[in-house]
Amino acid sequence: MTRKHSTAFLIGVLLFQQVLGSLTFPVAKYGLTYIEPFTFALYRFVISSILLLIFVKLKRHAVPIEKPDIWKIIGLGIIIIPFNQTLYLWGQSLTAAGHGSVLFATVPIWIAFTAMIHLKERLSWRRGVGIVIAMGGVFVIVTGGAVEIGTEYLIGDLIILVAVIAWVYYTILGKPLVEKYGAVRITAYALGSGSLIYLPFGIYMASKFDHAAVPVAAWWSVVYVAIGVSVFAYILWYWVLKYMEASRIAVFHNIQPVIASGVAFIWLGEPMGLSFLAGGAVALVGVIVAEL
């Protein structure tokens, strides 16, 4: 931990980051109702990359990026753009909004084990118990009807699961680079390089899409996902990761199904079972246990 930021402040930033991320699922689901996912992805990547690169350009940086690390950053770009963001949007277009948040709630388990392997982090018994409790809450939400289970969502769910694994490795492999160069630069260069790779395919897909049929509200969903998530939420995630263990901050992903399912129920009319509040409470208890 750094002396500059208290634990309470870092957790507060992380909670805000999780709220931004949670809204991705219902907001993106709404936009994807009208916008083809690969076209949606193109505009998301272009908007977020331009804003981030302008911000980096306007700021002075004391530590130059070493040549070997450039390839690592490009690798992060490939992980976060084609394998995380693109596959997420594609999968989310094929499944319910609540499903994406529940699948991303498995992130703590994946990060806990990959952090032990790659970052040599130690998983304490308390954090392990917290992860199990929080996942139990997510299970209650799913089985209680807050998220529908059906084979019609299987393909979309499997695609999102690949996006989840990509997010895990984006977190694990990015931590050393963030500690060395800062969250803003790594986020900007990773998204910028990944977007450049995606650009030809995205332009091709967008050229075949009928833009005239899209309502204004759907374009605003693109703006939110591009700026609220790809810019602010991603920077905040890497920023907190600079000061805290990956397995510790990952537990907060279990908050997302609670928020996302609630918003999806109010906004999109997706079903919410009576056990939603109980499952949400259990998930929050798990987070608290892990952070005591």
Per-residue pLDDT tens over the stretch 246-264: 888 877 777 776 776 677 6
Q: Which of 85-99, 120-134, 204-218 has the lowest mean pLDDT?
A: 120-134
Residue pointed to by tokens 């952070």: 291
Residue 2 has pLDDT above 50, yes or no: no
pTM, entire model = 0.81
Q: Are 162 and 83 in contact (CB under 8 A)?
A: yes
Percentage of the chain beyond pLDDT 70 is 83
Element (H, E) at 98: helix 97-104
Residue 66 has pLDDT above 90, yes or no: yes
At 221 the three-state DSSP class reads helix
Torsion of CA 288, 125, 4, 186, to 10 degrees: -100
